[in-house]
Amino acid sequence: MEQKYPEVKKYRPDIEGLRGFAIICVIIYHLNSNFLPGGFLGVDIFFVISGFLITSSIQNGIKNSSFKFIPFIKSFYKKRFLRIYPSLIIYFLIFFLISLFQNPNPGITIRTGLSSIFGLSNLYLASTNLEYFGHALSSNPFLITWSLSLEIQFYILFPILIFLAKKFFSTQYLK
């Protein structure tokens, strides 16, 4: 029987409000960057929310002396995978097919899409040495996945860092 890891279950309307605000910032920015020059603020808000939720979940387990790395990883990643990947895969398939027929040079687009499936599109995009706002990338429908890749990498690395900190340092610093 799979052990469920305790998570913060209290519904947080303030977090839902922040998510809504973040989405509005990103949409307005993408409609016209002059309307909201700091539109990437929405992405930053999503990062803060993710950090808060994962830290709260880990902190709850530490306070209850029930934080176990492997059960946490299984439970947490399963939920995140089921939340993120169905939409990402559908998005990938749609734009993959469109790119094959509409893009005269679909190579970068397809490679960005494939790297997004593995949570690495930010690293791939950085390795292309193309200007982020240049034409070659601005028409890439997978350009938006750089932030999702950062989030996936954060989900992988942060629990490992907390686990190592718990293992090698007093838990008084993790409260």
- End-to-end CA separation in angstroms for the chain: 30
- Inform me whether the pLDDT recorded for 148 exceeds 70: yes
- Per-position b or e across 135-163, b if 16+ CB within 10 A of its CB: eebeebbbbebbbbbbbbeebeeebeebb
Question: Is the pTM for the entire model greater than 0.85?
Answer: no
Most confident of the following: 11-15, 53-57, 120-124: 120-124
Give the residue with greater pLDDT, 92 vs 166: 92
Average pLDDT in the chain: 80
User: How high is the pLDDT of residue 5?
Assistant: 47
The Cα–Cα gap between 136 and 103 comes to 11
* Calculated CA dihedral for residues 89, 90, 94, 95, nearest 10 degrees: -40
- Inform me whether the pLDDT recorded for 9 exceeds 80: no
Residue 17 binned pLDDT confidence (cut-offs 50, 70, 90): very high
Residue 120 binned pLDDT confidence (cut-offs 50, 70, 90): very high
Tens digits of residue pLDDT in 71-104 = 877 887 888 889 888 998 999 999 888 888 887 7
